[in-house]
A and B are shown apart, each in its own frame.
Chain A
Amino acid sequence: MELSNERLAYLSLMREIEDFYYAEADMLDERDYDKWLALFADDVRYWMPIRKNVAFDNLARETTAEDDIAWIDDDKATLVKRVKQLMTGFHWAEEPISRVSHVVTNIRLTEAVTTIAEGATATVKSRFLIYRNRLETETDILVGRREDMLRRKGETFEVTRRKILIEQSVLRAKNLTVFF
Chain B
Amino acid sequence: MSTPLGSAKSLVDTDNGEISREIFVNHDLYKQELEQIFGRAWLFVGHESQIPKSGDFFSSKMGEESVILTRDRAGKIHVFLNSCRHRGMKVCRYDEGNTTNFICPYHAWSYTTDGRLVGVQDYDNLYRPPFDKGEWGLVEVAQLANFHGTIWATWDKNAPSFEDYLGEATFGLAGALRAWDGSDGETELLGSVQKWIVPNNWKFIAENFAGDNLHVVSHRSVEMVGIGPGSNGRRDDYGEAKRAAYPGGHGIVYSLVPPKKTFVQYSASPVTSDYFQERWEKRLEKLGDQAGIFPLIGTIFPNMSFHGQQPRTLLLAHPRGPQETEMWRFYFVDKGAPAEVKEFLRRYYIRYSGPAGMTEQDDMENWNYASSASDGLIARRHPYHYKAGLGRGGKDPVIPGHVTTKEAPGTEQNPRALYKRWAEFMDAPSWDALR
Contacts and interface: CB of A to CB of B under 8 A. Distances in A.
A85 B358 contact: yes
A173 B192 contact: no
Interface string A36-65: 000000000000101011110010010011
A7 to B, nearest CB: 42
Contacts of A74: 347, 351
Interface stretch (B118-126, B167-175, B193-201, B293-301): B193-201
A23 interface: no
**Interface secondary structure of A, over-half rule:** loop
Interface string B80-103: 000000000000011111110000
Nearest to A86: B221
B191 A67 contact: yes
Interface in B176-201: 190-199
B220 interface: yes
Nearest to B326: A170
B350 A92 contact: no
Contacts of A138: 368
A96 to B, nearest CB: 11
A137 B193 CA distance: 29
Given A73-B350, A88-B221, A170 B196 contact: yes
Contacts of B368: 138, 174
A177 B343 contact: no
Contacts of A120: none
B269 interface: no
Interface string B321-337: 00000100001000000
B187 to A, nearest CB: 15
B194 A50 contact: yes
B195 A170 contact: yes
A78 to B, nearest CB: 6
Given A53-B95, A88-B224, A174-B364, A81 B358 contact: yes
B220 A90 contact: yes
A78 B93 CA distance: 36
B361 A93 contact: yes
Contact of B365 (A48, A52, A85, A93): A93
B77 to A, nearest CB: 21
Contacts of A93: 361-362, 364-365
Interface string A89-118: 111110000000000000000000000000
A68 interface: yes
Contact of A176 (B198, B199, B225, B355): B355
A3 B133 CA distance: 73
Contacts of B349: 69
Nearest to A78: B351
B227 interface: yes
A57 to B, nearest CB: 9
Contacts of B225: 81, 84-85, 88
A174 B198 contact: yes
B377 interface: no
Contacts of A68: 191-192
Interface residues of A, number: 41
B206 interface: no
B356 A72 contact: yes
B149 interface: no
B194 A69 contact: yes
A69 B199 contact: no
Interface string B3-27: 0000000000000000000000000
A176 B191 CA distance: 20
Contacts of B354: 71
A75 B343 CA distance: 13
Nearest to A63: B192
Given A50-B192, A52-B192, A67-B191, A91 B362 contact: yes
A169 B85 CA distance: 27
B199 A174 contact: yes
A175 B361 contact: yes
B222 interface: yes
Given A92-B365, A176-B355, A53 B194 contact: no
A82 interface: yes
A171 B355 contact: yes
A59 B361 CA distance: 31
Nearest to B369: A135
A71 B93 CA distance: 22
B226 interface: yes
Contact of A54 (B94, B190, B339): B94
A54 B191 contact: no
B346 interface: yes
A174 B190 CA distance: 23
Residue of B191, B199, B361, B364 with most chain A CB atoms under a 10 A cut-off: B361
Contacts of A53: 93-95
Given A85-B358, A170-B197, A171-B194, 5 more contacts: A73-B346, A81-B226, A91-B221, A176-B356, A177-B361
26 contacts: A50-B192, A52-B96, A53-B93, A55-B99, A67-B343, A68-B192, A69-B190, A69-B194, A69-B346, A69-B349, A71-B194, A71-B354, A72-B356, A75-B347, A81-B225, A88-B225, A93-B362, A93-B365, A169-B95, A170-B195, A171-B194, A171-B196, A171-B197, A172-B196, A174-B196, A177-B356
Interface of A: 48, 50, 52-55, 58, 61, 64-65, 67-75, 78, 81-82, 84-85, 88-93, 135, 138, 169-177
Listed from nearest, the 3 A-B pairs whose CB atoms lie closest are A68-B191, A171-B196, A91-B221
